[in-house]
Chain A
Amino acid sequence: AQTVTQSQPEMSVQEAETVTLSCTYDTSESDYYLFWYKQPPSRQMILVIRQEAYKQQNATENRFSVNFQKAAKSFSLKISDSQLGDAAMYFCAYTGNFGNEKLTFGTGTRLTIIP
């Protein structure tokens, strides 16, 4: 079974600084997708960024980028120029199921932005 591990329950960063959230996963599949989702307090989950395992290039979405290390099964999220609106729970997620793209989530990292 696939597992996703987020070892940082909480992180904090000064506004405008850069922070990196860690995620590791375990799978025996060669083709899969990885995601970072953001869940602001009392608001719905939003997809931040995704990475296809077959792509060597790391995904980037504006201030958000990932460091995907396939051999190490590591998938970290870097947030640059942190803003107050980035405060949220961040979940790393995996899917390797084609035809049923159900997501396996980690336990999340709560990110606090310090003004």
Chain B
Amino acid sequence: DTGVSQNPRHKITKRGQNVTFRCDPISEHNRLYWYRQTLGQGPEFLTYFQNEAQLEKSRLLSDRFSAERPKGSFSTLEIQRTEQGDSAMYLCASSRDRDPYEQYFGPGTRLTVT
């Protein structure tokens, strides 16, 4: 396993700009999760994909947020019209059907909105 990778690792953007993050899961993992972690808190669930299908979205995911997973491989998370409250660490995790309870996390993308 090469592990879950996320790019970029850090992103600084001005309020109102759009940003896109990428997650590459472990190759045979068909389940993919996005979480958001703010300072001093545990990660909070944002959305879940099984293969290319987005099966659940948290109410934390306002309509400024969109996530995709074309062809069931990598995933992107886009935030439009960023706000200062979007500043957080965005974590991606993946798991496989035969052991869905072991989620492997990526290093995260730290977003700072100025």
Residue of A47, A102, A106 touching B56 (CB-CB under 8 A): A102
Report, as a range, how many residues of chain B touch the other chain.
20 to 34
Residue of B nearest to A33 (CB): B101
A93 within 8 Å of B (CB atoms): yes
Closest 10 CB pairs of A and B: A105-B42, A45-B105, A102-B45, A44-B107, A101-B100, A44-B105, A91-B42, A100-B48, A33-B101, A105-B43
From A37, A103, A106, A107, B45 is in contact (CB under 8 Å) with A103
- Known contacts A45-B91, A93-B42, A108-B42; is A103 also within 8 Å of B103 by CB? yes
Tell me the chain B residues, 73-102 only, with Cβ under 8 Å from chain A.
91, 93, 95, 100-102
Q: In the complex, what residues of B have CB within 8 A of residue A93's CB?
A: 42
The contact of A101 among B43, B44, B95, B106, by CB within 8 Å, is: B95
Q: Complex formed: what's the CA distance from A104 to B42 in Å?
A: 8
The interface residues of chain B, by DSSP majority, are classed as: strand
Residues of A in contact (CB 8 Å), total 23
How would residues 78 to 115 of chain A score, 1 for a CB under 8 Å from any chain B CB and 0 otherwise? 00000000000001010100011111111110000000
Complex contact A50–B48 (CB within 8 A):
no
Q: Tell me if B62 counts as interface (CB < 8 A to partner A).
A: no
Residues of A30-49 contacting chain B, CB below 8 A:
33, 35, 37, 43-47
In the bound assembly, the distance between CA atoms of A6 and B101 in angstroms comes to 21
Q: Return 7 A-B CB contacts under 8 Å, by A number.
A: A91-B43, A95-B101, A101-B103, A103-B33, A105-B42, A105-B44, A108-B41
